[in-house]
Structure 1
Amino acid sequence: MRRIRIKLNRIPSLPERRRVGRKIMADLGIKLQMGWNPFTENIAPKAYALMFETLDKFLAVKTKDNRPDTVRGYTSYVKLFKKWLLEHGFDETSYVCSFTESDAIDFMDDRDLAVSARTFNNSILFFRVLFNWMIERKYIKDNPFMAVKRKPKRLTQKIRRLFTPEEFNELIIWLEANNVPYLVMALMCYCCFIRPKELSMLRCRDIDLDNQLIRISASIAKNEKDYTRTIPDSMMKYVRKLDLSNPGHYLFGDHPMYDFSPGTKKASSRRFASYWSYVVRPALGFPKELQFYSLKDTGITNMVNSGVPLTSVQQQADHSSLAITSIYIGKTDRASEALKAVDIID
């Protein structure tokens, strides 16, 4: 005689175990009446695990293996997913196997109405990772999100552009008059190519004025490696305006009225973005395509096109290869003077 066992010993409470057991028996009875055969269905060993418990277990495992920022992203996706499940007939007693390919399509259709194409594709990527993890752990046999198609690349391009020289000069003048710490932050993105999240975690001790260096430790770096950035001479006069006398203070503190001077509490990268979106951009009349991160794109482009050796730009930008740095060569809306002077017509 062949048997299929559904183990419930993971549920510590006996009354709860009995309640779940009765529900499983009722569900199986309905399926059997409809002609279902458990011996012909390709079912995973843990298919009748509770979906919400499984989602929590996924987060617990990933919390050990990933950076805090990654875990926050995963947690946000799982919270969103649980909310959708509760709004669409699922509850905390629903099984993993009760979520089907059709449900995955419905879920992503709802996401499609609420988010950009880029965020839509990022959502697909996460849920494929989540359900692949379930496959590895024997909860399911197939990934329901593989049926959902990604948006084409042309719809997911970043909507940001480079600064013109005039726009960049306007920005420097305005920030020097209104917010010097934010000016230093902007120049660290423009000249030193430091990412906003890394900027938010820098401390005063990371600035070496004597050697014109910024030291980023592996604990805060995106690639989890120690590295340095060179501070250009033209930027030093602004950096020297900051009070670096307290080595342990965050370089960009969180103070009222968007005051980013050094302090004991760090300002988040979201606060940097908020100041850009709600104060800087409106004050200067910049379009939405000019984002804070446009400073890094513009800085790399200008540095490459000004004749700085590619290897030096690669090191400053922390690019893994020269091929990535080379993408920025000629990335400008202005015609090349060298090409205009070429005479190859007989």
Structure 2
Amino acid sequence: MTNHEKTRIDEIVSYTPPQLYTGKEWYIGFMAFDPALGKLHRKRIKINHVHGGVCAKRKYAQDLLKRLNEQLSQGWNPWIEAEYGKSYNKFEEVCEHYKRYITKLYKDDVFREETFVAYSSFLRNLRQYNEQRDIPITYIYQLNSAYVVAFLDHIYIDRENTAQTRDNYLSWLRQFSTFLLQQQYVNVKPTEGIPVLGKKAHKKKRTIIEKNDLIRLSDYLKTQNKYYLLACYILYYCFIRPKEMAKIKLEHISIKNRTIFVPADIAKNREAGVVTLPKKVLLLMVDLNIFNNPSDSYLFSTDFMPGFEYVNEKKFRDYWIREIRKKLHFPDSYKFYSLKDSGITSLLRDRNIDKLSVRDQARHSNILITDIYTPHDIQEANALIETHEDVF
């Protein structure tokens, strides 16, 4: 057996049951894996100091044996405690520390709400996963590379999530690992050496909505829910993201200039922007008496109507899944956000509108992002290259 194989076996064994040894010197002895040595290392706890005779020593020893067995079975390691200090902190206590940390970052506007909500969700799922394990980890040092891989497999395989979701969890775990290292809970990042599945595995399950389905959607909402139709229009024609839509107020809309102002504090890229409000969208707003409401009202509150109560953007997706997709028998690839993709593609097909105008309306950081939406059937050859020829 090689030294490496013996080390791996010692890691798996982790410890031997504590026993009482009597004689000239009374002590409790057991073996525990010492990461610094890479092998099992004997630990002795002397009990000669116990006064009261043999009976008192045996009673003290039995109580200590019980406690030690319980601690060792939960993952406690005397060498970890001695060498690495904070690695012996309880997993749940460290998770609470991290939760307080990201909450402070969010309150100080270092994290956007979307980031804070996502990180909180990742953390909650990690804790739930640990609770459901046959043998949950107890101490933070037990959150090692093997544990991280098992958790990612649980997310990807057991829960049948996409490769993108699995990599999103890994991205968060790397951030969490950095926190653990900075706080000296671990001396090596548990995510070290774990690769992402890569962009080739990330296929969007969102497609452009066909024209006939857009017509069906419009006809249905004109009779069933005009306020939700307005939300669809804002996404399709103005390209304002659902999270931004949920925070837009009437004071951000200019009838005179026919524009919607997206403040920096609600914009995804944290940059203020102005988008054009097409006549069709404005007329629907007038028809719904939108501007009869106070200017500090949210454009979309309860039941997608203007109001003072902020309602999370999840309402848009929920209604799409619960109502639209079922009633119109739309495929799963048609998502509420598909309206933005469809709207940008439609605008690019309009030969009277240049790409820069589309870029500005979509608030893309550069034209390359806009180009992603350009349909292949309208991409034309470069006339200068088309007529080029050489001696070859």
Settle same-fold status: TM greater than 0.5.
yes
The AA in structure 1 aligned to 2:91 is M
Check if 1:226 corresponds to 2:226.
no
The correspondence of residues 145-184 of structure 1 with structure 2, limited to 5 A, is: 145-184=191-230
Deviations 1:125-176 (A, max 9, x none): 1111101221223222222223444334333211111122222122222212
Q: Is the 8 A contact 1:204 1:251 kept in 2?
A: yes
The secondary structure found in structure 1 opposite 2:238 is: coil
1:35 aligned to which of 27, 41, 49: 41
Match of 1:240 among 286, 292, 302: 286
Q: Does 1:84 align with 2:148?
A: no
Structure 1 residues 223-274: Cα deviation after superposition (integer angstroms, max 9, x where no partner) = 22221111112322112123222112211121xxxx3221222332211111
Please state if 1:127 is matched with 2:173. Answer: yes
Mapping for residues 21-60 of structure 1, pairs under 5 Å: 30-31=32-33, 34-35=40-41, 44=84, 46-60=86-100
Aligned to 1:4: none
Are the aligned partners of 2:299 and 2:306 in contact in 1 as well (CA < 8 Å)?
A: yes
Identity within the alignment, %: 26
CA distance in 2, matches of 1:323, 1:153: 18
Which residue in the other structure is 2:262 paired with?
A: 216
Alignment deviations for residues 86-119 of structure 1 (CA, whole Å, 9 cap, x no partner): 333336xx32212222222222222221022221
Distance 1:64 1:336, change over 3 A: same
Are the counterparts in 2 of residues 105 and 147 from structure 1 also a CA contact under 8 Å? Answer: no
Match for 2:262: what amino acid? I
Change (3 A) 1:117 1:314: same
Q: Could you say what secondary structure the match of 1:228 adopts?
A: strand
Tell me the equivalent position of 1:71.
116
Q: Give the one of 119, 136, 154 matched to 1:110.
A: 154
Q: Which residue of 2 aligns with 1:100?
A: 144
How far does residue 209 in structure 1 lie from its aligned partner after superposition?
1.3
In structure 1, distance between residues paired with 2:297 and 2:190: 48
8 A contact 1:108–1:148 mirrored in 2: no
Question: Which protein, 1 or 2, shows the higher relative CO under an 8 Å CA cutoff with sep ≥ 6?
Answer: 1
- Partner of 1:35, secondary structure, is strand
What is the CA-CA distance between 1:292 and the residue it aligns to?
Answer: 0.9
* Residue aligning to 1:136: 182
Question: Which one is further off, 63-72 or 317-326?
Answer: 63-72
What's the secondary structure of 1:34's corresponding residue?
strand
Of 341, 349, 361, 1:305 maps to 349
- Contact kept? 1:203, 1:249, Cα under 8 Å: yes
| Residue pair 2:31, 2:41 contacting (<8 A) in 1 also | no
CA contact (8 A) 2:243 2:312 kept: yes
> How much is the aligned-residue C-alpha RMSD, in angstroms?
2.9
Aligned to 1:326: 371
Contact preservation (8 Å) 1:49, 1:139:
yes
Give 1:205 deviation, angstroms.
Answer: 1.7
Look up the match of 2:61.
none
> What secondary structure is seen at the aligned counterpart in 2 of 1:122?
helix
TM-score by length of 2: 0.71
- Give the number of the structure whose alpha-carbon radius of gyration is greater: 2
Alignment coverage as a number of residue pairs: 307
User: Which runs of 5 or more residues in structure 1 are unaligned?
Assistant: 1-25
Q: 1:309 to 1:338 in 2, by over 3 A?
A: closer
Higher strand share: 2
Cα distance in structure 2, aligned partners of 1:303 and 1:210:
23
Give TM-score, length-normalised by structure 1: 0.80
Aligned partner of residue 274 in structure 2, secondary structure: strand
Do the aligned partners of 1:193 and 1:316 also contact (CA within 8 Å) in 2? Answer: yes
Distance 2:294 2:117 in 1: 30
CA contact (8 A) 2:32 2:41 kept: no
Distance 2:336 2:29 in 1: 54
Q: Which runs of 5+ in 2 are unaligned?
A: 1-27, 44-77, 106-110, 388-392
Q: Quick one: distance in 2 between partners of 1:312 and 1:141?
A: 51
- Residue 319 of structure 1 aligns to a residue whose secondary structure is coil
